[in-house]
A and B are shown apart, each in its own frame.
Chain A
Amino acid sequence: MIISIASGKGGTGKTTVAASLASVIPESVYIDCDVEEPNGHLLLKPEFISEESAKKLLPQIDQEKCTFCGKCVEVCEFNALINLKFEIVLFDEMCHGCGACIYFCPSKVITERAKEIGVVRVGITSAKIFFADGVLNIGEVAATPLIKEVKKNIIEGKINILDSPPGTSCCMVETVKDSDFCILVTESTPFGLNDLKLAIDVLKTIGVSFGVVINKYDPSFTEMENYLNENSIEILLKIPFERRYAESYSEGILPLDKYPELKNAFRVLHKRILEKVEIVNAG
């Protein structure tokens, strides 16, 4: 089972919700797909058992044999190659590794080599949560290939919690697209509501069922609940806005490890999601 945790807006508490949920599910799997800014390890503190470099394939041009005809440059949609007439220069970060340049080179002088784009780390926490995350190398612009690599750590037959990057673009879609259920984390502000609507649009487009957790909940912001009620969207959990929770997070301690009321709330959340997924799968 794959449960992804997403939110349009950053900083709503996605990672806290994902890590908290993972910690109340026995033998769960937590996978941090926010490879630009991975933070899950700071809260779950796994002991890493392996670290493997994630690679992408890049063309390697034999400059000695190249005729500088420029065909490779012409077929590259990503402008990763330029022709100086005495050298074909490749800009690694821009290459998507599609292989078109190799296929179309009339002199067949292009081969491939692997280049690291980041690392995938695997570990285990003291509470026996299986942990995986990806760390994108700084300067690398395309995060989706690394997200694909990190997702290879999904374990069938277990409950996999996927922590998505913020936003609603390609990286978020790559993370949530094959989930059984998605939890959208929002906060009681107009920003939170605006970005929640964007995230809901994405999930409806790709057909993933979802529910909402309102973090930093403040009952005075009534627009949030009005919107959710009008659109028959289920509120799975409300976590009140409290300074002590923020303080606990700031130290890298999951608030539910300090405050038992939260632990109970997340146990209830776990049960509710299992019911929801059963309904989805049955229906």
Chain B
Amino acid sequence: MKIAVTSTGGSMDALVSEQFGRCQYFLIVDPETMKFEAVSNLGEQMQNGAGPKAAELIINKGAEILLTGRVGDKAEEALKKSGIKIVDGYKGTIKVKDAVNSYLSK
């Protein structure tokens, strides 16, 4: 199982990004080992379509769960088609590792 987290930086100590399509990085985390891959999000620079493009990216990275602040309608549609579980409502004041831990402890 892989968990994708929207992040403002490339480490587990970075703060969560509340934006999905326009976050700076996705951290693709393996919760067993807490190892992660940081993927920079090209969607950050896009005129439009950033949300769906970001969805495409994490789908192709094999994520099954997404932790983020808020996901737009279009991205949500793509994520649901691929069976990714969306857990939203995370605030931009917590660290990525705390978001992952809080999800795992639920």
Give chain A's interface residues, CB within 8 Å of chain B.
Answer: 73, 78-80, 82-85, 87, 89, 91, 94, 141
The interface residues of chain A, by DSSP majority, are classed as loop
7 contacts between A and B (CB under 8 A): A78-B47, A79-B53, A82-B56, A84-B81, A89-B77, A91-B49, A94-B48
Q: Which residues of A contact B74 (CB under 8 A)?
A: 91
**B52 is an interface residue with CB less than 8 A from chain A:** yes
Determine the distance from Cα of A85 to Cα of B49 in the docked complex, in whole angstroms.
18
Determine the distance from Cα of A79 to Cα of B56 in the docked complex, in whole angstroms.
11
Give chain B's interface residues, CB within 8 Å of chain A.
Answer: 46-50, 52-53, 55-56, 59-60, 74, 77-78, 81-82
Determine the distance from Cα of A11 to Cα of B66 in the docked complex, in whole angstroms.
43
Candidates B46, B47, B48, B53; contact of A82 at CB < 8 Å: B53
Query: A79 to B50, Cβ gap below 8 A?
Result: yes
The interface residues of chain B, by DSSP majority, are classed as helix
Nearest chain A residue, comparing its CB with the CB of B42: A79
Determine the distance from Cα of A79 to Cα of B42 in the docked complex, in whole angstroms.
12
Determine the distance from Cα of A244 to Cα of B91 in the docked complex, in whole angstroms.
50
Query: B78 to A82, Cβ gap below 8 A?
Result: yes
Query: B78 to A89, Cβ gap below 8 A?
Result: yes
Nearest chain B residue, comparing its CB with the CB of A73: B56
Q: Which residues of B contact A85 (CB under 8 A)?
A: 59-60
Determine the distance from Cα of A84 to Cα of B82 in the docked complex, in whole angstroms.
7
Determine the distance from Cα of A85 to Cα of B57 in the docked complex, in whole angstroms.
11
Determine the distance from Cα of A165 to Cα of B74 in the docked complex, in whole angstroms.
27
The smallest beta-carbon distance between B55 and chain A, in angstroms, is 7
Determine the distance from Cα of A73 to Cα of B46 in the docked complex, in whole angstroms.
15
The smallest beta-carbon distance between B6 and chain A, in angstroms, is 17
Q: Which residues of B contact A83 (CB under 8 A)?
A: 56, 60
Q: Which residues of A contact B81 (CB under 8 A)?
A: 84, 87, 89
- Pairs of residues from A and B, 10 with the lowest C-beta to C-beta distance, nearest first: A79-B49, A82-B56, A82-B52, A94-B49, A91-B74, A79-B53, A84-B82, A91-B52, A89-B78, A94-B48
Query: B48 to A84, Cβ gap below 8 A?
Result: no
Candidates B49, B50, B53, B56; contact of A84 at CB < 8 Å: B56
Determine the distance from Cα of A141 to Cα of B50 in the docked complex, in whole angstroms.
14
Q: Which residues of B contact A73 (CB under 8 A)?
A: 56
